[in-house]
Amino acid sequence: MTSASGLPRPFRLIVTGGGTGGHTYPALTAIRALQARLAKDGRGLETLWIGTADGLEARVAPAEGIAFTTVATGKIRRSSNPLKMVSPANVKDMARVPLGVAQARKIVSEFQPDVVLATGGYVAVPGGLAARLCRRPLVLHEQTVRLGLANRKLAGSATRIAVSSESSVSLLPEAVRGAAVVTGNPIRPEVLAGHADKAVAALGLHGFDRRLPTVYVTGGAQGSQQINDVVAGALPWLLERANVVHQCGPAHGEVLRRNAAGLPPVLAGRYYVAGFVGPELPDVLALADVVVSRSGAGTLAELTALGKPAVFIPLASSAGNEQAHNARHLEEAGAAVALLGEVTAERLKDALGPLLADPARRAAMAERARMHGRPDAADRLVDVILSAASG
C-alpha cells in the first residue's frame, strides 16, 4: 500500500451525515481518532465530507480543514398519520434524492475512498447508496438506541453497522445483525479530562457550598424553555439542597437572573446562570454530582462515559421519539431517571430529592451509568473502519 513516491498511500475516507450535532460531532471525533491511528504507522488521511449547505457539518468540516462538498437530498417530515407523510413538501424533497444519488456516485467514483462512513441524517442516504453503487465499503454508525431512518434505509447496503449499545443489536433487522458491531458513540477526549476546581475558578463559583452536591442543568446550546421553567419553579427548594450551574441558552439568561434576584443571598450564591458553557464544559461536568438535561445520543454518551447520575427530560419532538427511548433505556438499567410526559417542578423535586439526599444512591447510579459508557468508542469505530477497508 505505497504511493509512487514509495511512501505509504494515504487512507481515503468519505464521511457523509450531519444536519445536527448528534450526527456531526461523532463523525468528527472518529476522523480525529483515525488520523491519529494512521499517523502512528506513518500514514496520512485524506477525508472528504459530503453534507448539506445548511447543516452544522457545513461549518464544522471546513473549520477543521476537512474538504467539504454538498449533494441534493430530501428530508422526510414524519407523522403518525401515513396520509400526512405524502405531503407536497415530502414529495418535492424525495424527488431530489435521485439527483443526490447521481451527484454522490460521481463524487465517490472520483475520490475512490477506502471506506464511506455514514453517521445518519437525511444527507447520508445519497452518499450511502453511492457507496453501494461504486462497490466501496460502507460503515454505518448509529448514535441512538434504535436505528435512525437514514441508517435503516442503508442497513442492507452496509459492510459494517456500528451501534452504540448492546441492546441495539436485537432491534436490527435479522438479515443485517451479522454486520453489527457494538462500538459506543464517540465522544471528544477532552470531555473526560475535566477538573472540578478549574470550574470553580473559571466561573467564579465562590458562593458554592462544596459540602453540598452540585447539579448541572443544561438544555443544549440554545437552551430549553421547558427545562428552564421547571427549574425556575423548583429553584428555592433546589438551592437549599444543592449548588446549581444552569446552562440556559443565550436568550434566556436575563429572565432567569431576574427570577433569582429575590432569593436570600446565601441561596443566590449557589446559583450560576450561563447562556452557554464552552471550553469549561469538561470542568463543569467534573464538578457536577447530578445532571439534568435532554437525552440526546451525544449527551448520553458523555454522561455514561463519565459515570454521572442524570435526570433526563427528553425532547418530545425528537425524530422518532428517540430521546424518550434513550432515557427509558438508561432508566430501566438504573442508570438515570427519565421524566416522560408532562414535567412539572414537583416531578423534578421527586426525581432529584432522593439523589441529592443520599450520596450512596448517587454512587450506585453513577456505577450503573458507567457500565453503559464506552469512553473508547472512537477507537472501536476506527477498528471497524480499518477492518471494513481490509475486507
Give pLDDT tens digits for 286-341: 999 999 999 999 999 999 999 999 999 999 877 668 899 999 999 999 999 999 99
Element (H, E) at 47: strand 45-51
Place of cell 453501494: 132
Query: How many domains are contained in the chain?
Result: 2
Is residue 1, in this structure, part of any structural domain at all? no
| Same domain membership, residue 179 and residue 203 | no
Q: Is residue 323 part of a domain?
A: yes
Instruction: Please tell me which residue, 271 or 79, carries the higher pLDDT value.
Output: 271
Range of the domain at 333: 189-372
Look at residue 221 and tell me whether its pLDDT is greater than 90.
no
Q: Are residues 119 and 236 in the same domain?
A: no
Residues 226, 146 share a domain: no
Are residues 215 and 140 both part of a single domain? Answer: no
Co-location of 21 and 99 in the same domain: yes
Give the model's pLDDT for residue 205.
Answer: 97
Together in a domain, 40 and 89: yes
pLDDT value of residue 93:
61
Residue 219 within a domain: yes
Q: What is the mean predicted confidence (pLDDT) over 129-150?
A: 93
- Please report whether residue 129 resides in a domain: yes
pLDDT for residue 92: 58
For residue 92, tell me if it sits in a domain. Answer: yes
CB-count exposure of residue 88 (10 Å: 0-12, 13-18, 19+): exposed
The confidence score (pLDDT) of residue 373 equals: 94
Q: Which three cell numbers stand for residue 378?
A: 472512537
**pLDDT value at 84 more than 80:** no
Tell me, yes or no, whether 197 and 223 share the same domain.
yes
Task: For 159-216, write each residue's pLDDT tens digit.
Answer: 999 999 888 899 898 999 999 999 999 999 999 999 999 999 999 999 999 999 999 9
Q: Is the domain of 256 the same as that of 334?
A: yes
Q: What pLDDT, on a 0 to 100 scale, did the predictor assign at position 322?
A: 86
3-state secondary structure of 46: strand
Q: What percentage of the chain carries pLDDT values higher than 90?
A: 82
Specify if 342 maps to a domain: yes
The answer to whether residue 4 sits within a structural domain is no
Same domain membership, residue 290 and residue 206: yes
175: Cα separation from own chain's centroid: 27
* pLDDT at residue 73, as a whole number: 86
Lowest mean pLDDT of 6-10, 37-41, 225-229, 266-270, name the range: 6-10
d(Cα 348, Cα 331) in Å, to the nearest integer? Answer: 15
- pLDDT value of position 34: 98
In a domain, 6, yes or no: no
Q: The CATH number of the domain where 71 resides is what? A: 3.40.50.2000
If asked whether residues 105 and 26 sit together in one domain, one would say yes
pLDDT band at 81 (very low <50, low <70, confident <90, very high): low
52 and 97 fall within a common domain: yes
- Looking at the fold, whether 94 and 202 belong to one and the same domain comes out as no
How high is the pLDDT of residue 319?
Answer: 65
Q: Are 156 and 125 in contact (CB under 8 A)?
A: no
